[in-house]
Structure 1
Amino acid sequence: MAITARLQRDPFNAQAEADALTKGRTDLGAALTFTGLVRADDGLIALTLEHYPAMTLAAMQAIADQAAARWRDVTGTIIHRHGRLLPGEAIVLVTTASPHRQSAFEAATFLMDWLKTKAPFWKREDHADGTSKWVEAKQADDAAADRWTP
């Protein structure tokens, strides 16, 4: 089975993506959808994601391919948005489906852990007080991704 990656500026419809993944499939026993949202932490008014399109999409698809190779019974879709996003807006979608729930959960967790640490995005936070700052990598995200490395 395959997992596909998409990069887009526009919002996505999580339910439509999940439906497209499972439509007509009678071999699936589990479908999982995760949507990441922009949080309004510390006066955040916007989050801007910058990227190099070909490089970022290639990295995302490589992550998807690694998950598909590791969990061969999983199919899925990952979508990551870019541009200026406001608190409450969806930023990332991971959908996985499998004959068995454990594979769907594990693949989704792997995909999110690796997207957070290996997909080349540059994030800038804009705050209500007029300040902006670039987001640095978090040690906790690196530790979560490290658990998947043999």
Structure 2
Amino acid sequence: MSGGARFAIADAPFAVAPLRDALLDAQAGAFASFEGWVRNHHDGRAVAGLRYECYRALAETEGQRILDEAQARFAITGVCCVHRVGELAIGELAVWVGVAAAHRDAAFDACRFVIDEVKARVPLWKHERYADGDAGWLHPGS
């Protein structure tokens, strides 16, 4: 995947190792990643689980645009992001970002840029189910 950038929406759990392996490049001396997991609390409330939904066509287009921007903005050799949709339990992997670069600064900076922009711009929403039986919709940046 040298020079590649790939954004995907996943309907089921996915393996991180093949995504990381696809970013291997002889020019890369650094790799940075981010994993976002479903936590058991939000704003002081106990969370029992959640469901992510998205407008898939727009989410994939905007996600790819973000990765393309990262490729143009940072000196990186590759970048990938996968975000889950559907029902997720506490502790499950919800989003993964991986970045390869010649140097660590670019890898770290691009990784932070990608996750921040995905949370701000990609049309994904989460429906949290609380332990008290209540539920509510949130943008995943929450």
Identity score, percent: 34
- 1:5 maps onto 2:40 in alignment: no
Q: Which runs of no fewer than 5 residues in structure 1 stay unpaired? A: 142-150
In 1, Cα distance between equivalents of 2:56 and 2:114: 19
1:64-75 alignment runs, 5 A limit: 64-75=67-78
Give the TM-score normalised by structure 1. 0.85
In 1, Cα distance between equivalents of 2:69 and 2:92: 28
RMSD: 1.6
Asked whether the 8 Å contact 2:124–2:139 carries over to 1, the reply is: no
Higher share of residues assigned strand: 2
Task: For residue 72 of structure 1, report the CA deviation from its aligned partner.
Answer: 4.0
Higher share of residues assigned helix: 1
How many residue pairs align between the two structures?
Answer: 137
1:17 to 16, 19, 22: 19
In 1, Cα distance between equivalents of 2:23 and 2:64: 17
Q: Which runs of no fewer than 5 residues in structure 2 stay unpaired? A: none
How has the CA–CA distance of structure 1 residues 88 and 99 changed in structure 2, closer, same or farther, with 3 Å as cutoff?
same
1:116 to 119, 124, 128: 119
Give the TM-score normalised by structure 2. 0.89
Poorly superposed stretches of 4+, deviation over 2 Å: none
Asked whether the 8 Å contact 2:53–2:85 carries over to 1, the reply is: yes
